Amino acid sequence: MTCFCCLDSGPEIKQLTNDYITQDFLDTLAALRPTDLTVEEARQLWNADMTSLGRNPQYIYVAVHHDKVIGAATLVIEQKFIRRGALCGHIEDVAVHPDHQGEGIGSRLVERLIGIAKHRGCYKVILDCSEELIPFYKKLGFKESERHMRLDLKP
C-alpha cells in the first residue's frame, strides 16, 4: 500500500466533473456495493439527472491522484420547513478505493463536505453508517444519534 505522506502531498479533493467519471471512479464506488454500471451509462446518468443542482443541491467530490479517482463522497442539502427553512446536510456514499483505504482519504473527503455544509449555512450534518464505522465518524466529530430505518421499495 502506498504511503502518500512519504511521496508527495497526496490526492487532490475536487468536485466531480464528467472527466472524472471513469472506470477508477466506478471501481471506487464498488467499495460501497457491487455495480455493473458502465462508464458510458454513468456519464449518461450524470448528464441527464445528476446535475440539477438548483432543484436538489448535491455536491459530489472525488479524491484524485495522478489523474486517477481513488475516493468519492456526496453531500445532499435539504431545506426543512420545521426549522423555518434551515438547511441540513446529508453525507452519502463515502468510498475509498480498496488499494488506498487507511491513508486518510476518507477523512479528507468527509472534512471537505463538512466544510461545504458549514459554508452553505447548514445547522447540522447527518449520515448513516454501519456499526463498525462508528469509530471512523467519531474521529471526525460525529456522535451517535437516533436509529436508522429503511423500507425497500424495489427488489
Ligand X SMILES: CC(C)(COP(=O)(O)OP(=O)(O)OC[C@H]1O[C@@H](n2cnc3c(N)ncnc32)[C@H](O)[C@@H]1OP(=O)(O)O)[C@@H](O)C(=O)NCCC(=O)NCCS
Binding site for ligand X (CB under 6 A): 31-32, 94-96, 101-107, 129, 132-133, 135-136, 139
By C-beta, is 54 or 135 nearer to ligand X? 135
Give the shortest CB-135-to-ligand X separation in angstroms: 4
Give the shortest CB-105-to-ligand X separation in angstroms: 4
Give the shortest CB-96-to-ligand X separation in angstroms: 4
Distance between CA atoms of residues 10 and 64, nearest Å: 9
Which residues sit opposite 63 in a β-bridge?
Answer: 13, 71
By C-beta, is 40 or 132 nearer to ligand X? 132
Q: What are 95's three cell numbers?
A: 468510498
- Is residue 78 helix, strand or coil? strand
Q: Going by DSSP bridges, is the β-strand pair 68-80/58-65 parallel, antiparallel, or unpaired?
A: antiparallel
Spatial contact of 51 and 111, defined as CB atoms under 8 Å apart: no
- Is residue 30 helix, strand or coil? coil
By C-beta, is 22 or 107 nearer to ligand X? 107
Question: What residue number has its CB nearest to ligand X?
Answer: 106
Give the shortest CB-132-to-ligand X separation in angstroms: 5
